[in-house]
Amino acid sequence: MTYQIKAVARCRTPYKQKFGIPRQPGLVAARGFVELEAEFNHMDAVRGLEQYSHLWLLFCFHENLAQGWKTTVRPPRLGGNEKLGVFATRSTFRPNGIGQSVVKLHGVVQRNGKVCLEISGMDLLDNTPVIDIKPYIPFSDAIHDAVGGIAHEAPALMTVNYTELASAQIAAYAAQPQYLDLAELIDGVLAQDPRPAYKKAKEDPKLYQVALYDLDIFWCIENAGIKVLELRPAKLDKQSSGTNGQAAELAT
């Protein structure tokens, strides 16, 4: 049996490529918006939503659908060396390509004639189709004695340092309203170490790039930490955009 599902909204986020997006929601306090699609673009559709602090977003892994799904996957938590069943993970390669995330709701606003939900903590690629929005209910959705299996604890964070050039560039960009949270965003994203699991157990001389907003952030591994080298205006292409679980590596 098949069903047709339409997008009710689109998510607008700083994440312009799949490489670098946090692997779970709530790990990075990135800000963004959920824009209702034309058919649902009415304040009545979200009446009463502001009484909730958090939302469930059900969405489509739209850039992975063509690659199909797999019965088993290699979770990054297991170093990419062991397999688990797809339904025992949150892999993006799923039979129906549907994901869900809890996000913080900051308010309901109108932007450019569209009803928008201002959110933070999302782990969604920019322009991700949202197929449903539901309020988060603390007394039933928060299970305090739940067991998290291989993902019971939050991942360890990397130390992030900056060259003088990168620090000066970030300070200059932060003077513009659209980049107010740029330093916090870069710190949060890179501290998660977005590299594939197999890269983390060996020396890694590669130069990496992550696209945030309309900027390319160039960084490398130095002294077991992350060193941000410089920022450039974004130049997204097949070489640099990467895919979920793959590093955007550039020749040094």
Q: What is the CATH number of the domain that holds 97?
A: 2.40.30.70
| Distance (Å, whole) CA 111 – CA 115 | 7
Residue 165 has pLDDT above 90, yes or no: yes
Task: For residue 193, give the CATH number of its domain.
Answer: 3.30.2310.20
Residue 13 has pLDDT above 50, yes or no: yes
Residue 2 belongs to a domain: no
Q: Please tell me whether residues 211 and 132 are part of one structural domain.
A: no
| Predicted confidence band of residue 208 (pLDDT cuts 50, 70, 90) | very high
Q: Domain boundary at 112, 141, 170, which?
A: 141
Q: Please tell me whether residues 86 and 200 are part of one structural domain.
A: no
**Which phi and psi angles does 178 have, rounded to 5°?**
-75, -10
Q: Please tell me whether residues 179 and 91 are part of one structural domain.
A: no
Which residue has tokens 């994901």? 99
Mean pLDDT (the chain, rounded): 89
Residue 151 belongs to a domain: no
pLDDT tens profile 53-111: 999 999 999 887 778 888 998 887 777 778 999 999 888 889 999 999 999 999 999 99
pLDDT tens profile 232-243: 998 755 433 333
Q: Please tell me whether residues 122 and 164 are part of one structural domain.
A: no
Q: Please tell me whether residues 89 and 170 are part of one structural domain.
A: no
- Dihedral of CA atoms 194, 18, 213, 241 in degrees, nearest 10, equals 100
Q: Please tell me whether residues 187 and 132 are part of one structural domain.
A: no
pLDDT for 252 equals: 33
